[in-house]
Structure formats: structure tokens, C-alpha cells
Amino acid sequence: MASGIKDKVAIIGMGCSRFGERWDVGTEQLINEAFGEALKDAGIEPSQINAAWFGSALDQANVGNSAIPLSTALRLQGIPVTRVENMCATGTEALRGATYAVASGAVDIALAVGVEKLKDTGFGGLPVPTKGTFNDLWIPYCSAPAGFAQLAAGYRSRYGVSKEELKQAMARVSWKSHVNGAKNPKAHLRKEVSMETILAAPIIADPLGVFDCCGVSDGAACAIVTTPEIARALGNYELVTIKALQLSASSGREAGTNQWDGSYVQNTRLAAKAAYKEAGIDDPRKQLSLMEVHDCFSITELVTMEDLGMSDDGQAWRDILDGKYDADGKVPCQIDGGLKCFGHPVGASGLRMVYEHYLQLLNRAGDRQLVSPSMGLSHNLGGVPYNSVAAISIVGLL
Amino acid sequence: MTAIKPVGIKAYGVFLPRLRIARSAIAQAHSWAFPSMRGKGHKALCSWDEDSITLAVEAGRDCLGDQSEAVSRVILASTTAPFADLQNASIVATALGLPGQISCTDVGGSTRAGLGALISELSNQDQSQRLVLASERRSAKPASAQEMNYGSGAVAMLVGEGELLASCLGSESLSVPFIDHYRMNGQDYDYYAEERWIRDEGVSKLVPATAAALLKRLDIKAADVAWFGLSGAPKGSDKLLSRKLGVESASLLDDFQEGVGDIGAAHSLLQLADALEKAQPGQLILLAAFGQGCDVALFRKEAGQRKPARGIRGALAEGIEETSYLKMLSFEGELNVDWGPRAEVDTKASIAQQYRSHEQILAFTGGQCQHCGSVQFPSLPNCVNCGVADSQVPLSLANQRAKVATVSADWLQYYPAPPLYVGLVQFDNGARVLMEMVDVGKQDLDVGTPLKMVFRVKANDKLRGYRRYFWKATPAL
């Protein structure tokens, strides 16, 4: 019987670049910005890193595939460097690789880096998918918002929520993230936006308007992990450890059978269940101090509240309108602005989420610091709701 | 010795593209340059993803129905078939779910090709069933008379022995270099001679002589002809000819200028389909197709009762009003819209992969698991539901009923006819497929909206001059 990852690995250093339209820097500088902060935080030398995991999701957007973009950016040589890619769950995958390497005893100190240089595509939104995962001989080319917007149709149909009510709740999701993001100096979008503006924005993919969609950004984030024993030996006494790292990928059942009604994300539910078990959480509504979820679109965050068990099924839209997930709500969600406002450099996002938990848990979150958080959940979602990869990491104080 | 049973028309089918644009909208768009331009009624307009192949498939489906009938040959007549060298008919045949072991032929070169192909098959006493398809997506130069007159559509006729809708009593042809219009290979549009010359020197002289020769040979009096139809000739020529031919007592078949337009090689067969819907058993139908001479054929309505699901009335009734002339120009490739960098994506598809999956892609063939019964698309080695390996038998979803499971209207993705309606299509048999939804019109698509499948262009590879096809969903009427 596997014992799980809980408390076997500690994070001793984290870094995150400023996210946004970083026209003036390339991938290497973004990586360096995040790595420099993490290295200083960990108080180690680069030579002490035994292995590295590199997450980048869109190799066509000026990052490239293989481990080489990372190994050359950081001049790593003679250690294993591995590129991982799992769409928008890539950042969490990088952390999972590094964490498992440490937990296995294969290495003492491992590095996880995620980066994306999306603004080099020359247009807003994600690059247009072409070949590969989704066979374009029959699968329609559609945008990411159109993939996620279908959740709204499924949710309305299942719970009988009107278009207007759902749109209000979705707008409230984005409104809250703008309020939070305005306080984050590293966030891409740092301006509060009124509900009226959000509701009146042009439609991107019905019913998602511009403000229902997250920012697409340049950025990098990284983590340096080791065992709690080594962490203490390095002089760290207040330790943030990994409580759970779980992932679930679609078998094709959601998109290929009638077993899914489009009102939730099955993989989030499966990964959350496994993560709660691994972390020893039996009441997430009470035990989690904060959440960073994959709010690529407002509707995604809304259904994720139910998928994570934070809201009852069919009630998330009400909880959101009631402010349950606001900065001063019961369980703050996206206290750093989320994908919506911190931004979404795809490969970096999973690590960016953990970065926020790390800051909050160590009481380093500045203006947005919450009172005595003890455990945070990150949720990273790749693909589309009907064909997805959901990754969940839970970190907390040891 | 077994007597040879007579061969005739056993079934027919019709498809018209659902979009219908008012000619007044076309005239209005050109009024800055041609203030006297006028247009009456509507014409059938192809969406960006319809062509002579897709129209033919839909007409063929209307003709064959849900029955998987043995067809030994498919003939596609068109002057606008998308491929000059790649058998268009074989793509149509595969999409119709016909087996590979049949003969396929493309014919064209003249708007007479449709009637010519039908006459040719009817005069062949081969007892096996043959599917004659005539299909056109006709393009015309902006502001030309043809832009007003030309339409798009397809007709299918199933030829064979058995219970017949009509039989062909005989035909007569004339072939002379009377060049009323032409279009060389590589040219986009037809070039026309003066209409008065075509009518007076061509149609009025060439068709009556040929028709008279036919009636004489068959020993049939002109007055016994009950229905007369003429295609490929200037408007009003049919009335003129009916006098010259002495068939004034015959009812003129519709010229289908209202609702359709001139559909070239398919026009004679559209008129024949019209006659099959209107004529009484025993009545005689005279059809003439003009063009570099003419083909003239005499049909007799027989007692067969088989009717297509759609037919002409159905096709005319399922129109969707299109008001944007600029959209029509864009569909024709005449408007170089800046679609933005998202349109720069390369749509190259592996030819090997296409052949490997041709039944899946063209005939919409999925699989049904023999272990748990789940119907699925695509059919992969392991069942989507129970995971059992190699358990599936082929099953096409083309004629299966379905509903919207999820949907969104995508305004971000590059799509030639925005928005792109996309969502999960839930088939009643349990299969589910992410699909494009087309011809939505003003209908509100929502979870539960009934859908049916249509064969359409999936993507145009402009870089390599190639087009590929797949099935899409459309609201079921």
C-alpha cells in the first residue's frame, strides 16, 4: 500500500517572475528571474541542485521542446534535466517530477521550473492548436474559451440556473480576482473592474465575455525542493511541505459517452478525492485555508468550487455571489488574482499557484496576507472540460 | 430464358444548400455602380463548407434513405466538381457508405452532363442499381447576370429494375460548337455570349429539331406530352419552345429561378424530380438540356410510389434567409477578409492518415462494442466504456438521431462563417462526438436541441490546394 507523498518533501525556495506582457525579455530572462529569487530564498548554490524538471506547454511559442531551454538558461550541465508537458497542468507536473525524485531518495535537492512566452505569438489568447492530441481530421478547431464555455450550457441545463443568474455569478468570479490582483505587484492585470463593465464586455465564446477569460501572459515560476531533514540541515525551521500531488487524465469517457452532463469536470473530482486522501483531509471546507484554482475562465472556477467539494453541487453560483470565496470570505480563492489577473503563462501557472501558498504560509504575502493560513490547495487544469488533465497539489505547514 | 426487366428510375433525392439570399440584396449591393440592377426572389447559396461533393452526398442520402442498397456504380455529373484530378464520385460514394467494390465515374464538361449521364445509365439494360448524381456549386462574377441566376444544388436518381417511378422511352442528342458560354480550366467564371443570340440562333433552332426527331422516332404526338422542361437556356425560352414544339398543352416544369437558381448540370434532373412529384402514372415528360447542342429525352411516369424524405418541396422549405451579400462574396473567395493571425494555421493533414481512416472520416463509421454495447466514435482499440480490446464492430453515425449535449458559439476561433457553433453531440444510441454545428440560422441552440448529421467540408488547405471533408451536426427540422 502506497504511503503517499505527504510531508516527505519540503519546499525550501520559490520564485516567480512578474507576469504580463514582458516584451523586453525572453524565456531565459524569465526563468532567471524566478530562479534567482528561489535560489536566494533557499540559500543554496546552483551546484547543489541534483536534478531539474522543466515545464513548458507550448513549444511553438518561443520556448522550444526538450530540457535544453532550461539547461542552457541556467547553465546546468551534468545533471538530469527533464521537460514535462501536460497542457495547462504542466507547472504542477514539473513540481511532481522534482518532488517524486526527492521522495524516492534518488536526489537530495531538485528544481522545478515552469515558463511560457505566450506574448511572442503576436496575438491575444492561446496559440491555435493544430496537430497532435486532438485529431483534426474530425475534431473541430475551436478556441479554449469555446471549450470551457460549454460548461455553462451543461451547468444551466442540470441545475436550471438562468443565463442571467449564471452570468452574474461568473462576473462575480472575475470581479473578485480583479480586486485581489490589484494588490499583487507581480500580477499581469492590476486594475479593479466593475461588475457592469464585466457584464457588458464583448462575447468571446458564448456566454463568456472578455472579462470571463484569464490573461495570457509571459512568466516563469520555480520551486526548489528537498527532504524535510535536509531542509532543516540547511537552516529552515518553518517548513512548507507537500501534502498531496495528484493528477487525473480523461479516458475519453466524458467526450465519448453519455456518462457526463457537462456541468462539472470529472478529473478535478477524481484528482481532488485522491489528493484529500493523500493529504489526510476529510473536511476541505474547514481544513483548507485558501485555494488557487485554474480559473482560465470564470465558469471553470465556478464549477471547480463544486468539484473540490467547497460548494454543494448546484450551489457554487450562490456561494460566489455571497462572497464565500472573496479575500474576506470563508475560503479565499485566487487571493493573488488567479490566472484571471496574475496571468496565465501556461507552463508556469501550477508553480505560480504553489508560490502564492508558500508566501501565505510563511506570512510573506504583503498587502494580501491572510491570517494564519495553514494549508493551501492548487488546482491546475489542462485541456478542455470534456478532455482534461487535472492536477492538484496541496501544501501546508509541517 | 429470363426476360430482361425494364430499367428505369427507382428513386430520387434532392438537396439544396440551406442558405437563400434575396436577389434584391445582391442588386442593392451593386447599386452604386449599376443603379438599374434588379433582382426578384431568392437563390440557393452554398455556405463556405459546401461544394458539389457535399451537395451530392446529401442528395444521394435523400435518394437512398436509411436503406443500404446495393449500388454497382456512382456517376457524378458536375461542371464545378472540386477536384480536377481526383475522383470526386468516389469520395461521394464512400460518404454514402457504399462499399469500395463499385465503379465510380465523374462526368462534366457541360451543363448537359446531368441529363446525359442519366440517359446513358437508363439506356444501359444492366440490371444492377446505379446512382446518378448531378451537383453544382455555381460561382459567378460579381454583378454579372449569372450572379443573379446561378444557384447551387444537387439531385440524385437511382437507376435500376423493379418498381419504377419513371422509365425513359428514348432520347436524341445534337452536338455542335454553338458556344453560348464557356469556362476554360483554371478560370473562375463562365463567359457568356449575347442572350438574344443564344435564344434566337441557338435554343430556338437547335432544340425543336432534336425534340421533333425524337418524337417522330418514338411515334408520339407532341400533344401527348404532359410535362415539358428546358434547362441551360435563357429565361423564358421554355415557353417559346413549347409553342415551337407543339407541346403548348403540356405544363411547363418550374425553372426554379425562385428559391434555387440555375443549377447547371443538375437542373434537368431537378426538373425531372419536379415532374416525378407532380405527374400522374402514364403521363409523358419531355426534358431538354441545352448546351453546345442539346440532349432531349422522353420519360413516362410509372406507378412507383417511393418518395424521398426531403424531395424538392422539402428542400425548398428548409431555407434559411441570408441577407449579407458580403458574406456571400467571402464564401466565394471574392472578399479578402483580414481574419487575423489565428487564420494562419496550417491545416495540412497526412494523406496516409486520411486513407487509414477513410471510412471513419468520410462515412462517419464508429464502432459498437460487442462486450458492453457502447456505440462510440472514433473506434479505438479499447472500448471507451468498458476498456475491452478489439471488441468493436463498425457502425455509422451518419443517419443516427442526436441532441445537443453542450454547446458554445465561438467568436474567437478563426472560422469562415462566425460564430463557430461547437459542442458535444449526444446520439440517441449513446455515442457522443465533439462536432461543429452548422446552418443554425436564428434557432437557439441549447442542451437538448435535436440534431442530424450533414456531410461538409472540414478544412481547406490553401497552401496545397486541397480540401477534406467530415460530418457536422445541424438542427433537425
- Same domain flag for B370 and B312: no
The residue behind cell 442520402 is B61
Q: Is B359 on the interface with A (CB under 8 A)?
A: no
User: What's the CA gap between B30 and B43, in Å, rounded?
Assistant: 17
Q: Is A262 on the interface with B (CB under 8 A)?
A: yes
- Same domain flag for B35 and B180: yes
Q: How far is B7 from chain A (nearest CA, A)?
A: 40
- Same domain flag for B326 and B344: no
User: Which residues, numbered 210 to 269 in chain B, qualify as contacts with chain A under a Cβ-Cβ cut-off of 8 Å?
Assistant: none
Q: Are A94 and A66 in contact (CB under 8 A)?
A: no
Last residue of a domain, one of B312, B330, B348: B330
A333 is catalytic: no
End-to-end Cα spacing for chain A: 23
Q: How far is A103 from chain B (nearest CA, A)?
A: 33
pLDDT attached to residue A144: 94
Asked whether the predicted pLDDT for residue B463 surpasses 60, the reply is yes
- Same domain flag for B269 and B174: yes
Say which of A145, A154, A257 has its CB closest to residue B406.
A154
Q: Are B117 and B156 in contact (CB under 8 A)?
A: no
Give the CB-side neighbour count of residue A296, counting CA atoms within 13 A.
26
Q: Are B183 and B81 in contact (CB under 8 A)?
A: no
Model pLDDT for residues B127-183, shown as the tens digit of each residue: 899 999 999 999 999 999 999 999 999 999 999 999 999 999 999 999 999 999 999
Q: Which residue of A has its CA nearest to B364?
A: A138
For residue A261, list chain B residues with Cβ-Cβ distance below 8 A.
405
Q: Between chains, do B447 and A262 touch, taking CB under 8 Å as contact? A: yes
Task: Look up the pTM and report it.
Answer: 0.96
Q: How far is B68 from chain A (nearest CA, A)?
A: 24
For residue B404, list chain A residues with Cβ-Cβ distance below 8 A.
153
Q: Which part of chain A is CATH 3.40.47.10?
A: 10-121+218-241, 144-213+242-397
- Same domain flag for B400 and B310: no
Q: Between chains, do A149 and B408 touch, taking CB under 8 Å as contact? A: yes
Q: How far is B145 from chain A (nearest CA, A)?
A: 37
- Same domain flag for B268 and B369: no
Q: Between chains, do B435 and A140 touch, taking CB under 8 Å as contact? A: yes
Q: How far is B474 from chain A (nearest CA, A)?
A: 14
Q: What percentage of chain B exceeds 90 in pLDDT?
A: 92
B54 falls within a domain: yes
Question: In chain B, how many domains are there?
Answer: 2
Q: Between chains, do B357 and A149 touch, taking CB under 8 Å as contact? A: no
The DSSP call for residue B95 is H
pLDDT in tens, chain A (398 residues): 799 999 999 999 999 999 999 999 999 999 999 999 999 999 999 999 999 999 999 877 778 889 999 999 999 999 999 999 999 999 999 999 999 999 999 999 999 999 999 998 888 888 776 666 778 899 998 999 999 999 999 999 999 999 999 999 999 999 999 999 999 999 999 999 999 999 999 999 999 999 999 989 999 999 999 999 999 999 999 999 999 999 999 999 999 999 999 999 999 999 999 999 999 999 999 999 999 999 999 999 999 999 999 999 999 999 999 999 999 999 999 999 999 999 999 999 999 999 999 999 999 999 999 999 999 999 999 999 999 999 999 999 99
User: What's the CA gap between A68 and A137, in Å, rounded?
Assistant: 32
Chain-centre distance for alpha carbon B411:
30
Q: Which residue has the higher pLDDT, B68 or B81?
A: B81
Model pLDDT for residues B184-204, shown as the tens digit of each residue: 999 999 999 999 999 999 999
Predicted ipTM of the assembly: 0.95
Helical pair A163-181 and A298-307, crossing angle rounded to 10 deg: 100
Strands B19-22 and B320-322: parallel
If pLDDT is split at 50, 70 and 90, which confidence band does B68 have?
low
Q: Between chains, do A123 and B420 touch, taking CB under 8 Å as contact? A: no
- Same domain flag for B396 and B280: no
CB atoms within 10 A of CB A279: 27
Q: Between chains, do A253 and B384 touch, taking CB under 8 Å as contact? A: yes
The CATH architecture annotation of domain A144-213+242-397 reads: 3-Layer(aba) Sandwich (3.40)
A351 Cβ partners below 8 Å, 6+ apart? A14, A16, A55, A91, A92, A94, A95, A112, A113, A114, A221, A222, A223
The residue behind cell 480563492 is A333
Last residue of a domain, one of B277, B303, B330: B330
Q: Is B419 on the interface with A (CB under 8 A)?
A: yes
- Same domain flag for B32 and B69: yes
- Same domain flag for B209 and B270: yes
Say which of A128, A149, A206 has its CB closest to residue B345.
A128
Q: Between chains, do B357 and A137 touch, taking CB under 8 Å as contact? A: yes
B199 falls within a domain: yes
For residue B444, list chain A residues with Cβ-Cβ distance below 8 A.
none
Q: Are B260 and B151 in contact (CB under 8 A)?
A: yes
- Domain A10-121+218-241 falls under CATH 1.10.3720.10: no
- Same domain flag for B350 and B277: no
Q: Is A258 on the interface with B (CB under 8 A)?
A: yes
Q: Between chains, do B430 and A153 touch, taking CB under 8 Å as contact? A: no
Q: Between chains, do A142 and B405 touch, taking CB under 8 Å as contact? A: no
B1 falls within a domain: no
B2 falls within a domain: no
B186 falls within a domain: yes
CATH number of the CATH domain containing B231: 3.40.47.10
Expressed as residue numbers, the domain containing B423 is: 340-475
DSSP B104-169: EEEE-SSTTHHHHHHHHHHT----S-EEEEEEEE----TTSHHHHHB-EEEEEEEEEESS-SEEEE
Q: How far is A200 from chain B (nearest CA, A)?
A: 16
Last residue of a domain, one of B330, B359, B381: B330
User: Which residues, numbered 9 to 68 in chain A, qualify as contacts with chain B under a Cβ-Cβ cut-off of 8 Å?
Assistant: none
Average pLDDT value for residue range B446-466: 96
For residue A145, list chain B residues with Cβ-Cβ distance below 8 A.
408, 410, 412
pLDDT attached to residue B3: 61
- Same domain flag for B260 and B167: yes
A88 is catalytic: yes
Say which of A146, A202, A251 has its CB closest to residue B422.
A146
Cell numbers describing residue B448? 437538448
- Same domain flag for B141 and B192: yes
pLDDT attached to residue B1: 46
Model pLDDT for residues B261-286, shown as the tens digit of each residue: 999 999 999 999 999 999 999 999 99
β-pair partners for A248: A390
For residue B433, list chain A residues with Cβ-Cβ distance below 8 A.
138, 255-256
Cell numbers describing residue A319? 456561494
If pLDDT is split at 50, 70 and 90, which confidence band does B2 have?
low
pLDDT attached to residue A215: 82
Q: Between chains, do B385 and A257 touch, taking CB under 8 Å as contact? A: yes
pLDDT attached to residue A141: 85
For testing contact with chain A, the best of B413, B415, B440, B444 (most A CBs within 10 A)? B413
Model pLDDT for residues B345-358, shown as the tens digit of each residue: 888 888 999 999 99
For residue B386, list chain A residues with Cβ-Cβ distance below 8 A.
none
